[in-house]
Amino acid sequence: MIEALGPEEWTAILLSLRVALVAMLAALPLAVWIAYVLARKTFPGRQLLNGVVHLPLVLPPVVTGYLLLVLFGQQGPLGGFLDQTFGITFAFRWTGAALAAAVMAFPLMVRAIRLGFEAVDPGLEQAAATLGASRWRIWRTVTLPLVLPGILAGTILGFAKALGEFGATITFVAAIPGETQTIPTAIYGLLQVPGREPAIVSLVIVSIILAMGALLVSEWLARRMAQRLGGT
């Protein structure tokens, strides 16, 4: 199986991993924050925020990719600004692939983490408040640890989605080998050429192995957490 993979495919595999990991790391804090806000706060525009978060799920991925291109392209309002201010470019760069993956994974992460927040007993936060803990300390030491299972679930969902993302990625950053060609876009290319079925199958298997590995790690972490809490 491994023989079927050429250097270009290996590059795509490593890039996919990097893209998925960076997307998760970068999106996680924002996802946790938005999930918290949606779970606990009431404010005007809450439903709007909720809707915006879900957008990448509702829209065809190609449209999301196109919107990203319009916003974050070199001529785009955000893209130009980020480029000039921080020197960060997304369009047709691996960072853009990570952005696309993060955006597409975002609704999944937020929802899972939000369920986690909703399952935390507010009585415990009250107890922490009476013990003098600041909001931030309560958040860090009580709320967040109790939400960890949700965060873990959200992260693994997001990671899997990031590994599989195709439509938005190819639209936003194309499939430039070594820069933006991830496993799914590589598979797409291979589909156009005769006789590359073995490579396609190998890439699919590698995807599955990566995702399964991540899943197993997350399940193991979740079990450890549950054991700590459950006392067995």
- Pick the stretch among 81-89, 139-147, 162-170, 213-221 that binds ligand MOO (CB under 6 A): 162-170
**Distance, CA of 208 to CA of 220 (rounded, Å):** 18
User: Could you say whether residue 165 binds ligand MOO (CB under 6 A)?
Assistant: yes
Select the binding partner of residue 231 from a second copy, ligand MOO, ligand ATP, none (C-beta < 5 to 8 A, by kind).
ligand ATP
C-alpha distances (whole Å) from 97 to each of 45, 120, 140, 159, 211 are: 29, 34, 31, 13, 18
CB 17, min distance to another protein, A = 18
Whether the CB-CB separation of 90 and 195 falls below 8 Å is answered with no
Contacted entry of a second copy, ligand ATP, another protein, none for residue 111, CB cut-off 5 to 8 Å set by kind? a second copy
**Residue 24 touches a second copy, criterion: CB under 8 A:** no
C-alpha–C-alpha distance, residues 11 and 8, integer Å: 5
CA–CA distance, 231 with 218 (Å, rounded to integer)? 20
Least distance in Å: CB of 141 to another protein? 7
Taking CB under 8 A as the binding criterion, the range among 21-29, 74-82, 103-111, 129-137 that sits at the site for a second copy is 103-111
Compute the least distance from the CB of residue 192 to a second copy, in Å: 10
CB atoms within 10 A of CB 75: 9
Tell me the C-alpha to C-alpha distance, in Å, between residue 229 and each of 121, 146, 224: 14, 9, 9
74 near another protein, rule: CB under 8 A: yes
Report helix, strand or coil for 13: helix
In 3D space, the residue among 109, 86, 88 whose CA is nearest the CA of residue 23 turns out to be 109
153 lies in the site for a second copy, by CB under 8 A = yes
Provide, rounded to whole angstroms, the least separation between the CB of residue 197 and ligand ATP.
53
- Mask 30-69, x = binds another protein (CB under 8 A)? --------------------------------x---x--x
Closest CA relative to residue 205, chosen from 157, 163, 175, 166: 163
CA gap 102, 68 in Å, rounded: 12
| 165, 61 contact by CB (below 8 A) | yes
How many CB atoms are located within 10 Å of the residue 133 CB?
A: 16
List interacting residues with ligand ATP (CB under 6 A): 231-232
List interacting residues with a second copy (CB under 8 A): 47, 50-51, 54-63, 66, 107-108, 111-112, 114-116, 118-119, 149-150, 153, 156-157, 160-161, 163-167, 183-184, 187-188, 191, 200, 204, 207-208, 210-212, 215-216, 219, 226
List interacting residues with another protein (CB under 8 A): 62, 66, 69-70, 73-76, 91-92, 121, 123-124, 126-135, 141-142, 145-146, 170-171, 173-181, 185, 188-194, 225, 228-231
